[in-house]
Amino acid sequence: MIIKLENIHASYGKKEILKGVDLQVNEHEIVSIIGPNGAGKSTLLKTIIGFLIPNEGKIIYKKKDITKLPTYKRSQLGIGYLFQGGSIFTNLTVIDNLLLALEQNNSKDLTNLENLLILFPELNQHIKTRAGLLSGGLKQMLSLAMQLAKNPELLLLDEPSAGLAPSVVKRLINTIKQINQINKTTILLVEQNIRQALQISDRVYLMKNGKVILEEKDPLKLLSEESFEKIFFEK
């Protein structure tokens, strides 16, 4: 086990969003969190990375209680976070964005840069392009590459394919699987393209109304139309 959440309650002001969430992620897994809009999925990731401090409960990362730790310390411990829309320096070139991310990780080994460009060959083709001029898909690839430059052991991905074309979504999902297999990075994924996410996941949690209501160890079982109707329409 790399991370465990115990009875997590979290709120925005007086509005409680997470209502006693329990889940855990084991090393080298891809675990997806699915559910309808407003279920609390993105809020859960923000709580794990430290943008939101729980009102109640514990977050245990590698046997260490990180419930009250600030975000930067969680990052130093090996937790990466890609939020919706990604985060890049639009006025810098692709190569400068990657070098800056590597520098933040105190890495000057160009082998790490080469490995990133092997994993993201599309970026290599635009290496000297200003990041702000990239397509939406390439911007998201660059954001993901910058997170990987920090060598996270646990990577939180919040809707990485939001707003992207179907062909780009497929490429991005395949890249996430490669990151897991090649880098042995543990991934906790919130993804709107549920069918594709389930196909690469080892386990899945279903959330509704701020609670986990189902853990499925065989995600492919949820791919049927009947299962989708239950997930999104049954109360």
**What residue segments make up the domains of the chain, in order of their start?**
23-51+68-233
* CATH assignment, 23-51+68-233: 3.40.50.300
Q: What is the tens place of the pLDDT at every residue in 76-117?
A: 999 999 987 778 999 999 999 999 988 877 655 567 888 889
**In sequence order, which residues have a C-beta less than 8 Å from that of residue 129 and are 6 or more positions away?**
93, 94
Which is higher by pLDDT, 161 or 157?
157
Return the number of other C-beta atoms located less than 10 Å from residue 128's C-beta: 8
Q: What is the tens place of the pLDDT at every residue in 195-205?
A: 899 999 999 99
pTM of the model: 0.93
The residue type at 14:
K
The answer to whether residues 22 and 5 touch, using CB atoms and an 8 Å cutoff, is: yes
Whether the pLDDT of residue 72 is over 90: the answer is yes
Q: What is the tens place of the pLDDT at every residue in 5-31?
A: 999 999 999 999 999 999 999 999 999
Radius of gyration of the chain (CA): 18
Quote the mean pLDDT of the chain.
91
